[in-house]
Amino acid sequence: MAEIARIPISNVLTEGKYMMRIAVGSPSQPIGVLLDTGSSILAVYQSAYDKSADTDSVTTQLLQTETFASGAFLAAVVRTPIGLLDGGSAVVAKVPGANLAVAYKSVHRMFLGARGVFGLAPGARNRAYRMPLDTWDAEYRKDQLDLGQAVDLDPYVAQLGTIGIDKFAFAVQRSTVCTAMPDPNQDPLNHGLWVVGDGVSCTDLYAEPIATVSVVQGTHYNANLIALRVGTQVIDVTPGASAATPGGMATNAIIDSGANKLLLDPEVYDKVVAAFGALNAGFMAAIASGASQGCDQTTINLATWPTLEVIFQSPDGGQASIAIPPKNYWQFDTIKRGTAQWALGVASMQSNGPAILGLPLFAGHLVMFDRSANNGQGTIGFATLVDIGATGV
């Protein structure tokens, strides 16, 4: 499958995470949605979607619920045509009768400055509940879920596969909003591209080689993180628990476009910080300052900091190494102009939890997701980004 479209994406309204616009219904209603590889639901605020103006909408008895770090919601499932806006008015990749969760109520800024979320995770099905009544007309509560029958529902990202789309790619340069310019929306660093189709064919966007990471489990983009390298120092990472372990996860990392940092197991994080400190004792104080409220970026000389390498299992059982330069594990001009922020942190205070590897891993790379590769488990390819040109949302 070749490239189908290059869709502008931006992080300005969504606290450093990336959003794009989808086209919902007939006639099309443009709605800005977060791109999230850590979930698989396609959901929008009820206030963002005018069902009365949609001539092709079909309500259902299906109810969905989802929980994010910012809160939870219940949603009526509506079936309607959904496509992707190419930056103008053209609609690509339209799926007729796509599943759309329309949230009754939600926490303020559930989706930050977006009006919904486009979950890209590889889980084949979403959980829904078939309720006694039409869920658009009867607004159910969470304590009424037991009135319904649990069913599996194809998420929109899986429905794209029915029209031959099982590949996509991110091309972004930042993991936080750059505030160097008075209007961050005018800064090209805050804009990127989401490629619909095969990123490998976009040879103008990247330089080879491509490091290919194996997706090895389940409902998220789970990968086996083998080690991290700071300069010449290698920090080995404990493998994930056995899949047979009750409550255990068979991998130790999730690659998540909905996270602004590289969040590591506490023990691994401490070893990584110590490795930086072994190279230069002054690095420890800089990290401590930059990890909290940020620090004066004139005190950070990026030329003296080493490359951070993140090493994963590749599909052939070997290793795939992703290089993160200092400008991407430090974010300059973030929070406010002149402030630097450290882009690593702790995923959980409990040891042996999965690492959540977010946008610092994406920044400066063309990140190519192939949901069909590796016997259907999927792969993620990383190549150095060359030039994404002028983009905007």
| Per-residue pLDDT tens over the stretch 273-284 | 999 999 999 999
- As a whole number, mean pLDDT of residues 224-229 equals 97
Give strand ranges (E) for 265-362: 295-296, 308-313, 319-324, 330-331, 339-342, 344-346, 355-357
Q: Are residues 146 and 257 in the same domain?
A: no
Q: Are residues 230 and 132 in the same domain?
A: no
Distances (CA, A) of 373 to 19, 120, 167, 215: 26, 16, 9, 9
pLDDT at 246: 37
Q: Is residue 149 part of a domain?
A: yes
What digits encode the pLDDT tens for the residues 310-333?
999 999 999 999 999 999 999 999
Task: Please indicate, yes or no, whether the overall pTM of this predicted structure exceeds 0.75.
Answer: yes
Q: Are residues 127 and 210 in the same domain?
A: no
- As a whole number, mean pLDDT of residues 196-212 equals 96
- As a whole number, mean pLDDT of residues 96-119 equals 90
Of the CA atoms within 13 Å of residue 295, those in its CB half-sphere come to 18
pLDDT at 250: 66
Q: Are residues 144 and 245 in the same domain?
A: no
What digits encode the pLDDT tens for the residues 30-69?
999 999 999 999 999 999 999 999 999 999 999 999 888 7
How far, in Å, CA of 170 to CA of 382, rounded?
10
Q: How many CB atoms lie within 10 A of CB 108?
A: 6
Q: Are residues 251 and 134 in the same domain?
A: no
Q: Is residue 170 part of a domain?
A: no
DSSP assigned state of 327: H
For helices 266-279 and 281-290, give the axis angle rounded to 10 degrees. 130
Domain boundary among 111, 134, 163: 163
pLDDT at 249: 52
Q: Are residues 157 and 207 in the same domain?
A: no
User: Higher-confidence residue: 352 or 226?
Assistant: 226
pLDDT at 350: 59
The total domain count for the chain is 2
Taking only Cα atoms into account, the Rg of the chain, rounded to an integer number of angstroms, comes to: 21
**Percentage of the chain modeled with pLDDT above 70:** 93
For the cut 90, the answer to whether the pLDDT of residue 388 exceeds it is no
pLDDT at 247: 44
- As a whole number, mean pLDDT of residues 118-123 equals 87
Our CA angle for 83, 370, 249, nearest 5°, is 110
pLDDT at 242: 40
SS3 265: coil
Give strand ranges (E) for 278-353: 295-296, 308-313, 319-324, 330-331, 339-342, 344-346
Q: Are residues 153 and 268 in the same domain?
A: no
For the cut 60, the answer to whether the pLDDT of residue 369 exceeds it is yes
For the cut 80, the answer to whether the pLDDT of residue 104 exceeds it is yes
User: Higher-confidence residue: 391 or 376?
Assistant: 376
- As a whole number, mean pLDDT of residues 206-210 equals 97
Q: Is residue 57 part of a domain?
A: yes
Q: Is residue 254 part of a domain?
A: yes
CA-based nearest residue to 95, from 52, 56, 121: 56
How far, in Å, CA of 58 to CA of 307, rounded?
52
CATH of the domain at 62: 2.40.70.10
- As a whole number, mean pLDDT of residues 329-357 equals 89
- As a whole number, mean pLDDT of residues 171-178 equals 97
Q: How many CB atoms lie within 10 A of CB 67?
A: 9
CA-based nearest residue to 256, from 82, 39, 46: 39
Q: Is residue 269 part of a domain?
A: yes
Domain boundary among 107, 139, 163: 163
For the cut 60, the answer to whether the pLDDT of residue 293 exceeds it is yes
Q: Are residues 141 and 219 in the same domain?
A: no
Q: Are residues 133 and 228 in the same domain?
A: no
168 CB-near residues (< 8 Å, 6+ apart): 120, 194, 195, 196, 197, 199, 368, 369
How far, in Å, CA of 324 to CA of 312, rounded?
14
Q: Are residues 380 and 234 in the same domain?
A: yes
- As a whole number, mean pLDDT of residues 5-18 equals 95
Q: What tokens does 128 get?
A: 């829904």
How far, in Å, CA of 391 to CA of 275, rounded?
38
pLDDT at 352: 67
Cis-peptide, bond into residue 27, ω within 30° of zero? yes
- As a whole number, mean pLDDT of residues 73-100 equals 93
CA-based nearest residue to 17, from 362, 337, 291: 362
311 CB-near residues (< 8 Å, 6+ apart): 225, 226, 227, 228, 229, 319, 320, 321, 322
Domain boundary among 115, 142, 163: 163
Q: Are residues 153 and 288 in the same domain?
A: no
DSSP assigned state of 303: G
Q: Is residue 196 part of a domain?
A: no
For residue 351, what pLDDT band results from cuts at 50, 70 and 90? low
Q: Is residue 272 part of a domain?
A: yes
Q: Are residues 158 and 276 in the same domain?
A: no
How far, in Å, CA of 87 to CA of 84, rounded?
9
Q: What tokens does 64 get?
A: 């969905």
How far, in Å, CA of 373 to CA of 214, rounded?
9
The whole domain housing 117 covers: 5-163
For the cut 60, the answer to whether the pLDDT of residue 134 exceeds it is yes
Q: Do 157 and 40 touch, CB atoms closer than 8 A?
A: yes
For residue 379, what pLDDT band results from cuts at 50, 70 and 90? very high
- As a whole number, mean pLDDT of residues 366-382 equals 93
Q: Is residue 66 part of a domain?
A: yes
Query: Mean pLDDT in the chain?
Result: 91
